[in-house]
Amino acid sequence: MASDQAFVDFILDQLQPTGPVSARKMFGEYGLYWDDKLFALVCDNKLFVKPTAAGRAYLAPALVEAPPYPGAKPSLLIEEGLDDRAWLQQLVRLTVAALPPPKLKKNKVK
């Protein structure tokens, strides 16, 4: 089941004042980006944040990990707290700060 645009828009609205957050459609679902850094996925109208030590510590003891789609590595499943804008923004700030910068893509030579 693909995610609803309305759910993605809600998450983006909650994160809007945090920084340069955007969504890109990917295989019927969505990737959430801070500039060019992928930090979360929206799959089946659920938010999956990339796991980091800072994110796990912030969510403890209510930490839930699950794969966003079959065969994927587990991510931090965020079901509670989506309505708490400040809480969600802090989770994203901690996660983005802990993630490495995106790898530069090499141009293919023809």
* pLDDT tens-digit map of 60-108: 988 999 999 999 999 999 998 899 999 999 999 999 999 998 887 777 7
Indicate the DSSP class of residue 109. P
Burial 53-77 (b: 16+ CB within 10 A, else e): ebbeebbeeeeeeeebeeeeeebbb
Per-residue pLDDT of 10-67, as tens digits, reads 999 999 887 889 999 988 899 999 988 999 999 999 999 999 999 999 999 889 999 9
Q: What is the pLDDT of residue 54?
A: 96
Helix/strand/coil for 48: strand
Supply the pLDDT for residue 47.
97
Q: How far apart (Å, rounded) are the C-alpha atoms in residues 98 and 55?
A: 9
